[in-house]
Amino acid sequence: MTDETLRFGSYAFEVSRLDKTLFPDAAITKGDLIEYYQAVADRMLPYLRDRPVVMHRFPDGIDAEGFYQKATPDYFPDWIDTVTVRKEGGTVRHVVCGNEATLVYLAGQGVITPHVWLSRVDRLHHPDRLIFDLDPPDESSFDLVREAALALHGLLEDELDLSAWPMTTGGRGVHVVVPLDRSSDFDTVRDFAARTARVLAAREPDRFTTETRKESRKGRLFLDYLRNAYAQTSVPPLAVRPRPGAPVAMPLAWEEVGDPDLRGNRYRIGNARKRLAGGEDPWGGLTRHARALGPRIARLEDVEKEIRP
């Protein structure tokens, strides 16, 4: 077993079993995971900072059973930032990942994916992200994901005056993310997302649906708006996913969504860094486009009138 002490400014900690294989199919070790997160930290941390984290841990690799962990373990070093949030029946103390040392420490603890809240610690009930999660109804229908993302893009930007940003999830599909100015609470955001999804489903009922029951979808793509709620999380850009090949969530430009060869797991630890070195971040201007939902609710009401019988 290989152990090493890592130093990040005034922070130092020991990481054990760097040669532990986490992704057996690709022979990717804990040391490789740490090296990746170190390499992308500057680009990734803006999407993590000031948000409660839910840790998806696989200390024995992805072929063993992993687990989600919300509460910060007592043995985590005291220099790691945390936030205590309310939950039903009590509170829970989440990690907040604001620096490279914390990101690497989590990887050393077998955290393959640090899932983050859609709100920041200073206004937990007011999200700055609205997310649509688009997964194919079956493995052979990724074209439907691309078409749904592009249709949402048109509806959001052209009709509702909201900025929309696409990302492969590193899993099966694509997220379409809308940056918000935090003037609306979760209930308002979730209602707006649900109504927007219903408009698109009503326009193309043979291809898209908002049916939550799988047996009712009948091969149609589910326009999933459900994660827009308090304490729900999403995969941040550049996070590794616990799947064969170590796929990575990757921000895209909209022209890339039109690529018929696009898949949710196109980018992996092996090629993600090469992509990042080759150009600017497609999401580089996202926060500057945060907008209020209030004026867009009236626009949505006008759009809804068009689909009413």
Residues 172 and 221 in one domain: yes
121 alpha-carbon distance from chain centroid:
17
48 versus 307: the higher-pLDDT residue is 48
Q: How far apart are CA 160 and CA 195, in angstroms?
A: 12
| Phi-psi sector, 43: left (phi>0), alpha (psi -120 to 50), beta | alpha
* 154-170 pLDDT per residue, tens: 999 999 999 999 999 99
Last residue of a domain, one of 100, 117, 134: 117
Residues 34 and 49 in one domain: yes
Residues 151 and 202 in one domain: yes
Please report the pLDDT score of residue 193 as a whole number: 98
* 76-121 pLDDT per residue, tens: 999 999 999 998 889 999 999 999 999 999 999 999 999 999 999 9
Say if residue 129's pLDDT is above 70. Answer: yes
136 contacts: CB under 8 Å, gap ≥ 6: 142, 144, 145, 172, 173, 221
Residues 5 and 144 in one domain: no
* 216-234 pLDDT per residue, tens: 998 999 999 999 999 999 9
Q: Running DSSP on this structure, what letter comes out for residue 157? A: I
Tokens of 159: 């009709």
Q: What is the mean pLDDT of residues 122-137?
A: 97
Domain residue limits at 106: 1-117
Q: What is the mean pLDDT of residues 47-58?
A: 98
Residues 80 and 145 in one domain: no
What are the beta bridge partners of residue 27? none
* 13-44 pLDDT per residue, tens: 999 999 999 999 999 999 999 999 999 999 99
**Which CA distances in Å does 102 have to 43, 81, 97?**
15, 8, 6
Residues 45 and 113 in one domain: yes
Q: How far apart are CA 255 and CA 110, in angstroms?
A: 35
Q: H or E stretch including 102?
A: helix 100-108
| Domain count along the chain | 2
Work out the mean pLDDT of the chain and round it to a whole number.
95
Residues 12 and 71 in one domain: yes
**Beta strand extents in the chain (DSSP E only):** 4-8, 11-15, 21-23, 28-29, 52-57, 67-69, 82-87, 90-96, 111-117, 129-134, 165-168, 174-179, 208-209, 221-224, 233-234, 250-251
CA dihedral 296, 298, 300, 304 (to 10 degrees): 180
Please report the pLDDT score of residue 87 as a whole number: 87
* 268-285 pLDDT per residue, tens: 998 998 898 877 789 988
Residues 128 and 85 in one domain: no
Please report the pLDDT score of residue 76 as a whole number: 97
Last residue of a domain, one of 117, 139, 156: 117
Residues 229 and 96 in one domain: no
Question: Percentage of the chain surpassing pLDDT 90?
Answer: 90
Last residue of a domain, one of 86, 117, 148: 117
What are the beta bridge partners of residue 117? 233
CATH code for the domain of 45: 3.90.920.10
Question: Percentage of the chain surpassing pLDDT 70?
Answer: 99
Residue with tokens 């993590």, as numbered in its chain:
48
Q: Is 288 helix (H, G, I), strand (E, B) or coil?
A: helix
Please report the pLDDT score of residue 1 as a whole number: 54
Tokens of 17: 């079993």
